[in-house]
Amino acid sequence: MSENEDPTTRPEALSPPLELPHALGVSRLVLSRGNLFMVTGGAGNIVPAGARELGMFWEDTRHLSYYELILPGHPPTLLSSETESCLASQIDLTTTDEEFGGLLGEPINVLHLRRRQLLDGDFIEHIALTNHMGRFIELEFHVAFAADFADVFEVRGARRAGRGQILEPQVRSDRVQLGYRGLDGETYATSLQFHPPPEHVDAGAARFRVVLPPGATHIVEVSVRCWRGTPPSPRPRRSFATRLSVVRGEVGHFLGDCTRVRCDNELVQRGMERSLGDVSALRILHDARWVVGAGIPWFAAPFGRDSLITSAQVLAFAPHIAAETLRFLAAHQGTVHNAYREEEPGKIMHELRRGELVRTGEIPHAPYFGTVDATPLFLVLVGEYLQWSGDVGLVDELWPAIEAAVGWLDRSTSDGADFLRYQRVSPRGLDNQGWKDSRDGVPFPDGANAASPIALVEVQGYAVDAWRQVARLALLRGDTERARMWRERSEGFAVALERSFWCEELNYYALAIDGNGHRVPTVTSNPGHLLWSRAVTEDRARRITNTLLSHEMYTGWAIRTLARGQRVYNPLSYHNGSVWPHDNAIAAMGMSRYGLGRSAQKVFAGLLAATDHFHHQRLPELFCGMDRGEREFLVHYPVSCSPQAWASGALLMAMQAVLGLQPDALAGRLAIRNPRLPPSVSRLDLLDMRVGAARVDLRFIRSDNHTHAEVLDIRDGAVKVEIEVSPGMRE
């Protein structure tokens, strides 16, 4: 097979493709740790069997497609279910005395079931059954299970001509091993072990019989391990409490290295803690390198754009995430021309997968490079990370990757003479390769799709910033000639962007320029990213902000992706009228950089209010773009990823924006420009915030309409904190 061709020769299919149901409208519990994640319904079950939205996944393969605790008679009543920062779930259920021959009359809850679930390399469930009836209870129950070993792309809806072979289950007295031999020649396995051993076990269920005295509790533990290829070495059995303590300790160690938030508003406090906890939970270990995955359930994998933007969002709170991301993406940077994967030398990847479909060549994600913006964003993140960390050593380490990336940027724009464009090359690739990557993500106002090759407005802003950042890096390394060249390229590109994308009739920027040279005059949120990139003049920045906060764009919760009043507008769509929290955070950061702090504060306050309408105050990937009504009901999007990395980072970036934090670690300086706390917050502390080697404690106090900042402590290094309060630009 040529490296530039779609593979056509694959092992013969042995079983038909899967037909999978949906579980829409089901409340979900999400656990995530390392390369393993699990999504169950609110009662801790994976039902219906094979549901696309549920399952236990390891390295892009579903190793549990059905899992259910079944009691005789009616299903138990769900009392409550919660998760602890994606670490562990607790589900409490009950059955009434009707199930045990109770008398007629009002049923009494007599059996308490507590299910506790966690991930620590394996899936562990601790089931406790407690008898609150005044006599002995004889109870039979069973744990039912199945594994379809579906590739995550199959679960998402990819149609295959056929699949591999489900292997004969291996059944022992206390365990079952389920297996599958894929068309890639690999063997996939799921092993379930039960303690104590069940009364009976077969290929689909473990059956238990329990006699419970009054007040007694019976414990059953289920351990599920998954692997591919050679079976792993056995692990010593540990108690659930020990496992949970270890997992909490590891997450606590991660959070202990992050900036801590202390606030008098509980919603803000919980939101910030949740955001950092979710970013931690979404980190994936691949070839001994950590990187933030994009989101659960569909995108629990390394994504160039998503990982880079998330890393930029959390710089003020967890700068080490950026270092991890940059090293990971540099290690997977393009080196050759490969049309099937859309790989080019110097290009930063889009998505990396490890499941069966990658191994058979049915999809190009090994990795796939179909993204126009990851490469300039890589260069932007290097510069932004340096501003916070002062880590010149990482710049030196990554310099070959930086040169390769800017080389790709130069070549792709004819050394700055053309815009940065994309056009699908791979037959299995994406039609749209910016962040709005759905098929209809780049529409004209009437709904017609833009023709390729497409130049997106925000991507040109990323390029302006990328050249500016790399010019600064080159100057730092003493390469004055190339620093001058890249600085001039950045400035010239900004002029070209202004000339070609500004639409006077809209008083706004076009979404894109299509392959026919036509502007796409759709009013969208994309130009808000130009503010983050500092790619426009102050006057145009104010005009962008006015449009973004107009009634057509601002819902009362946040900024829509596309303005209503255009034929293509649909608040229920994925990209054409919905709200994406990360998109809002980027715009808010940009507003702050242009001195438009009051506008940034409005965006932050709206996002903060929205968190109260989601479980765990967790902002999802997106929500619907209806206006905020008098009763303040927010409309959820049906299949939004949650947790999702750049949604988790949105509040953190918006917080940095309203506090006006502008670091320069190399100069030993932290500027705080016109800080603004939202009206709901009177006092907020940032503790252990890193600026270079120093750790800084700051306090922000709101009085009337003014926010005051003060330094509480500086240690482990020297940094000068400059607090500036000025009228700024007229908003």
- The residue type of 507 is N
- Least confident piece of the model among 15-29, 491-505, 553-567: 15-29
Q: Which helix (H) or strand (E) holds 136?
A: none
Which residues, including other chains, have CB under 8 Å from residue 564's CB and lie 6 or more apart?
Answer: 552, 571, 577, 625
244-265 pLDDT, tens digit each: 999 999 989 998 899 999 999 9
Please calculate the CA angle 266-272-278 and round it to the nearest 5 degrees. Answer: 125
* Contact predicate 192/206, CB 8 Å: yes
Length of the chain measured in residues: 731
Rounded Cα distance, 634 and 610, in Å: 7
Between the CA of residue 500 and those of 107, 279, 463, 497, 508, what are the distances in Å? Answer: 72, 38, 15, 5, 12
Which residues, including other chains, have CB under 8 Å from residue 238's CB and lie 6 or more apart?
Answer: none
Q: In 3-state terms, what secondary structure has residue 183?
A: coil
294-349 pLDDT, tens digit each: 999 889 999 999 999 999 999 999 999 999 999 999 999 999 999 999 999 999 99
**Residue 14, pLDDT score:** 74
Name the segment(s) of the chain with CATH classification 2.70.98.40: 28-245
**Residue 1, pLDDT score:** 39
Percent of the chain with pLDDT over 70: 96
Rounded Cα distance, 522 and 148, in Å: 44
What's the predicted TM-score (pTM) here? 0.94
The band of 617, judged by pLDDT with boundaries at 50, 70 and 90, is: confident
Rounded Cα distance, 268 and 284, in Å: 27
For residue 660 the two structure tokens come to 């006006």
Of 268 and 169, the structure prediction assigns the larger pLDDT to 169
The band of 726, judged by pLDDT with boundaries at 50, 70 and 90, is: confident
For residue 374 the two structure tokens come to 């990851």
pLDDT at 727 over 90: no
The band of 692, judged by pLDDT with boundaries at 50, 70 and 90, is: very high
Which residues, including other chains, have CB under 8 Å from residue 694's CB and lie 6 or more apart?
Answer: 668, 714, 715, 716, 717, 718, 719
Q: In 3-state terms, what secondary structure has residue 607?
A: helix
pLDDT at 96 over 90: no
Beta-ladder partners of 69? 143
Is the N-terminal amide bond of 76 cis, ω within 30° of 0?
no
The band of 291, judged by pLDDT with boundaries at 50, 70 and 90, is: very high
| Count of other CB atoms within 10 angstroms of residue 40 | 28
**CATH architecture designation of domain 257-673:** Alpha/alpha barrel (1.50)
685: exposed, middle or buried (C-beta count within 10 Å: 0-12, 13-18, 19+)?
middle
Rounded Cα distance, 633 and 304, in Å: 34
3-state secondary structure 289-358: EEEEEEECCCEEEEEHHHHHHHHHHCCCCCCHHHHHHHHHHHHCCCCCCECCCCECCCCCCCECCCCHHH
Which residues, including other chains, have CB under 8 Å from residue 21's CB and lie 6 or more apart?
Answer: 48, 49, 50, 51, 52
**CATH architecture designation of domain 28-245:** Distorted Sandwich (2.70)
Q: What single string gives the DSSP state of each residue in 666-714?
A: GGTEEEEES----TT-SEEEEEEEEETTEEEEEEEEEETTEEEEEEEEE
Beta-ladder partners of 627? none
Residue with tokens 């500027």: 671
Name the segment(s) of the chain with CATH classification 1.50.10.10: 257-673
